[in-house]
């Protein structure tokens, strides 16, 4: 049911309505008051766009060990082994939970049909044809809408988190108390108070000019958590999906990894293959390898795209396995049963995020982060295909169970209303539009698939100027949807660039010509952005004069954990 009353006090506030947020709501006890906020409609996030499936080791011990090995290898040996094992071992349980909810997985005879995707050593991806994300959302939404204790508000965009420190109570442990939220339909900011807050707002691929993600992927949760005092890790690892349909009218429609998993071949305009020259697994190589190979061939030959060809599998096979992709391509005049599809890479998945522990807790008491908003240690330097939905489900359950086992008492603070007494209506909205475009072009040109120190430094300089302009605009004018998202995007873009400058090696999704090899002088390390240890001249600091300097430190995965875990509770 949709909330229509003015009450904004709940037990659990979930910001974000994708798979992670909905699953968390369903895993929480039914005697808790739960409110889900969605910046658009409930189903407008990235989850419905997921075509591939859910990676789950359903074949017993050997499959679990191989799934762990595949995940660590794809992640550039940077994933935390303990985290990988915990997530992978939970795969079968999550699939069973979804089946109990009515998830319409594709079947073969009397068992689930499993497909294979790039980086996987075997077939282990459970799916619903080529529209797993949409089917998953439909399943979760139906369950959520049947629960009287779960309410939701659509078109409510979170602006800032409210913490004890933001209220001036610096003598207390910093606890998240709620959020200021812009009601887009009524153009007013409401105050939401909750004992526990879960950030499940997705990733930040919209920081780039070309992306497979919907318009809402603007890094809102990452930026809000960072501003509130949480640490962030591995933001330099932005995954570019290798095969986005090269068609302006399609608005970045991705062609699933499963097309290559089922035999699709990448070809140049003359029909020749090129992936065997780049990796022994050819088209089934990890996504970062495939994306860089496509980028290199496009630049080498001066071509606009390459081609993905699965015509040799036959029309019946294609229409059975990829009905949604086939139908969508036909809308734009491409028949994948007869002709190869033109494809290019596009920004796709944010592998870094707010640092959380095994229960999804952030550095802030009462604040959790799950899904693409978080850094759990699972993905490392590159996400293995279809591990993301699995991570959403596992950490949604973990956060819900932690809240159930360790409930926080209501905080006595009375949260103040949003103050707009010192701002006016904007005089030139074109400033926001121009800065939005400049930021995304800067990220695409200088912080893309292949990087250099010089490009990154240019990006850092431009982003610093944009941050100042955007902050000045934010301080003087009433907020809007575009301004809030732009403010979050420039914050996230800054984190991406600073983290990329700090990593002086090439690993996984981060490839720099200045450091083309792995740093073998040190064990694999995460890039941790932290304001609490910022100091003069620290690697990754913004230029002198920035309001909130921070340090990017390189830490082993085992040391990338929540600070003061015991003190926080």
CA 448 – CA 240 distance, rounded (Å): 9
Secondary-structure percent of the chain, ordered helix, strand, coil, rounded to 5: 35, 20, 45
Give Cα 543 distance to the centre of its chain. 27
Q: What's the DSSP call for residue 52?
A: S
Q: Left if phi > 0, otherwise alpha if psi is -120 to 50, otherwise beta: which for 423?
A: beta
Please name which of 474, 432, 439 lies closest in space to residue 460, comparing C-alpha atoms: 439
CA 453 – CA 173 distance, rounded (Å): 39
Is-contact 360 368, C-beta < 8 A?
yes
Is-contact 495 373, C-beta < 8 A?
no
CA 423 – CA 34 distance, rounded (Å): 33
Is-contact 394 371, C-beta < 8 A?
no
Strands (E), 351-497: 353-355, 367-369, 374-375
Q: Are strands 238-245 and 341-350 parallel, antiparallel or unpaired?
A: antiparallel
Q: What's the DSSP call for residue 340?
A: P
Q: Left if phi > 0, otherwise alpha if psi is -120 to 50, otherwise beta: which for 109?
A: left
CA 180 – CA 197 distance, rounded (Å): 12
Is-contact 203 350, C-beta < 8 A?
yes
Q: Are strands 34-37 and 54-55 parallel, antiparallel or unpaired?
A: unpaired
Q: Which residues pair with 158 in a beta bridge?
A: 181
What count of other Cβ atoms lies within 10 Å of the Cβ of residue 180? 20
H helices of 229-286, where? 257-261
Q: Which of 124, 153, 260, 287 is catalytic?
A: 287
What count of other Cβ atoms lies within 10 Å of the Cβ of residue 165? 17
Q: What's the DSSP call for residue 507?
A: B
- Residue 458 bears catalytic tag: no
CA 525 – CA 225 distance, rounded (Å): 22
Alpha-carbon separation of residue 473 from 423, 440, 486, 493 (angstroms): 10, 18, 11, 18
Sheet holding 551-555, edge to edge: 374-375, 353-355, 232-233, 526-530, 551-555
Alpha-carbon separation of residue 508 from 197, 219, 373, 380 (angstroms): 32, 21, 19, 8
CA 550 – CA 561 distance, rounded (Å): 18
- Three-class SS string for 421-449? CCCECCCCCHHHHHHHHHHHHHHHHHCCC
Question: Which positions are annotated as active-site residues?
Answer: 287
């Amino acid at each position: 049911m949709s909330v229509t009353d003015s009450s904004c006090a709940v037990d659990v506030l979930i910001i974000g309505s994708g798979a992670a947020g909905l699953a968390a709501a369903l895993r929480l006890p039914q005697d808790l008051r739960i409110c889900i906020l969605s910046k658009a409609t409930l189903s407008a996030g990235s989850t419905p766009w997921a075509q591939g499936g859910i990676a789950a080791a359903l074949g017993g011990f050997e499959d679990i060990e191989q799934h762990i090995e595949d995940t660590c290898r794809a992640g550039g040996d940077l994933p935390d082994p303990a985290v990988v094992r915990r997530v992978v071992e939970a795969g079968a349980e999550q699939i069973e939970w979804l089946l109990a909810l009515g998830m319409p997985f594709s079947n073969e005879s009397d068992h689930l049909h499993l497909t294979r995707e790039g980086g996987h050593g075997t077939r282990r991806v459970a799916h619903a044809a080529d529209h797993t994300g949409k089917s998953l959302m439909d399943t979760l939404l139906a369950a959520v809408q049947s629960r009287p204790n779960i309410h939701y508000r659509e078109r409510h965009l979170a602006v800032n988190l409210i913490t004890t420190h933001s209220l001036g109570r610096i003598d207390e442990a910093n606890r998240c108390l709620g959020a200021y939220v812009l009601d887009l339909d009524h153009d007013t900011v409401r105050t939401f108070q909750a004992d526990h807050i879960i950030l499940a707002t997705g990733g930040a691929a919209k920081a780039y000019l070309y992306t497979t993600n919907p318009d809402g992927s603007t890094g809102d949760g990452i930026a809000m958590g960072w501003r509130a005092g949480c640490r962030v890790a591995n933001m330099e690892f932005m995954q570019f999906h290798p095969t986005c349909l090269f068609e302006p009218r399609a608005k970045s429609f991705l062609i699933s990894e499963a097309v290559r998993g089922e035999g699709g071949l990448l070809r140049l305009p003359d029909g020749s293959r090129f992936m065997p020259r780049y990796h022994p697994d050819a088209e089934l190589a990890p996504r970062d390898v495939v994306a860089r190979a496509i980028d290199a061939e496009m630049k080498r030959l001066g071509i606009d795209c390459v081609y993905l060809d699965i015509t040799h599998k036959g029309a019946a096979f294609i229409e059975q396995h990829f009905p949604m992709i086939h139908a969508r391509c036909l809308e734009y005049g491409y028949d994948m049963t007869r002709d190869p599809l033109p494809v290019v890479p596009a920004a796709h998945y944010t592998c870094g995020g707010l640092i959380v522990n095994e229960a999804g807790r952030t550095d802030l008491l009462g604040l959790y982060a799950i899904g693409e908003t978080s850094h759990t240690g699972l993905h490392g330097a590159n996400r293995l295909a279809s591990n993301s939905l699995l991570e959403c489900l596992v950490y949604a359950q973990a956060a819900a169970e932690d809240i159930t086992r360790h409930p926080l008492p209501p905080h006595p603070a009375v949260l103040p209303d949003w103050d707009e007494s010192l701002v006016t209506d904007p005089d030139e909205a074109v400033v926001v539009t121009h800065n939005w475009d400049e930021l995304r072009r800067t990220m695409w040109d200088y912080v893309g698939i292949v990087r250099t120190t010089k490009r990154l430094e240019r990006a850092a300089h431009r982003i610093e100027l944009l941050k100042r302009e955007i902050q000045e605009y934010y301080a003087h004018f009433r907020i809007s949807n575009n301004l809030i998202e732009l403010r979050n995007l420039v914050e996230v873009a800054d984190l991406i660039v600073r983290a990329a400058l700090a990593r002086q090696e090439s690993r996984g999704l981060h490839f720099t010509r200045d450091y083309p090899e792995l740093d073998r002088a040190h064990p694999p390390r995460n890039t941790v952005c932290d304001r609490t240890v910022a100091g003069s001249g620290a690697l990754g600091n913004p230029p002198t004069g920035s309001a909130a300097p921070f340090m990017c430190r390189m830490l082993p995965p085992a040391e990338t954990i929540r600070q003061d875990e015991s003190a926080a509770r």
